[in-house]
Amino acid sequence: MHWRQAWATEDRKRGNMSTVIVVGHVNHDQVWSLSSPLASGSRITYSDRVVRLGGGGFHTGTQLAKLGNNVRLISNLMDDDHGREALAKLQASGIDTGYVTLWPGETRFTEILLEPNGERTILNPGGQLRPPFAAPEPVRGDAAYLNALVLDDGLVASLRTIPLVVSQFPLRSASNRPADIVIGSRADFPGEDTRGIWERASPIAGPRLRTLVLTDGLRPISLYDGKTLNHVTPLKQVSVPDTIGAGDCFTGIFLHGLLQGLSLELSAERASQQTAEWLSERACTG
């Protein structure tokens, strides 16, 4: 039995089904696998091009659903063939899409240029104002995960009633949100120490902030509570060129572990191991 199925089955037997509110984008990623590194003014060939669903709302939501959680997704899609197909795939994966809004207009792809060494360049369409994430009514859940910049006031008010809120570290100007845990990647903070990153996270998350989690590729994961820094060494490591979505996958498994009563350290350890397995599976299946 696959590890996701085994863990989800075990949790269902114990009656440990949690409701998780996931707030994040569902993107259409067009991934170009380049044959050589990007270089200004050069001519570059590509070995493959594929369009697939991506974004924090999609990857984290589907991981949580596979692990047996009741996932309610708050997101925005365009009301065209691409948007409606994405909505159907989300529903087929067991996600409650009642709070996904279909907006008039045309889906615009996110272009991802993937170099042979795994470096990626992400091109987002300019001039497109994305609406804030909102729900038509107060939302309730056992936990919430946020991978979004702009949240409307009603959604922020709902988050204050949810016992566990995990937020991805927003890298641009963003709405403040009550969050117990903020997750980021050290690669997004070159040259900054952990204390400095914590001080940047604190105004965004507010007084509820308890833990900063920083992933670092194949290197140890940092867990920092504002005073004490602990490290979790990944038990399984995998080197693949395509790591798109790995951070979102990690977060879904990490949050599931916390909901099952595991410690921060054990949740991070399991999330790291199973994300490596997910990457290996994807590399084998294409």
Exposure string (b/e) for 203-240, b if CB count within 10 Å is 16 or more?
Answer: ebbeeebebbbbbeeeeebbbbeeeeeeebebeeebee
pLDDT number for residue 8: 47
d(CA 198, CA 203) in angstroms, rounded, equals 9
Tell me: pLDDT of 13 over 70: no
Mean pLDDT of the 265-284 span: 88
Closest by CA position to 174, among listed 68, 24, 19, 66: 24
pLDDT in tens, 43-89: 999 999 989 999 999 999 999 999 999 999 999 999 999 999 999 99
Domain boundaries defined on the chain: 17-27+54-106+130-284
**Average model confidence (pLDDT) for the chain?**
89
Which CATH code is given to the segment(s) 17-27+54-106+130-284? 3.40.1190.20
pLDDT number for residue 6: 46
pLDDT number for residue 124: 82
pLDDT in tens, 165-217: 999 999 888 999 999 999 999 999 999 999 999 999 999 999 999 999 999 98
Instruction: Please give the model's pTM, rounded to 2 decimal places.
Output: 0.89
d(CA 50, CA 133) in angstroms, rounded, equals 28
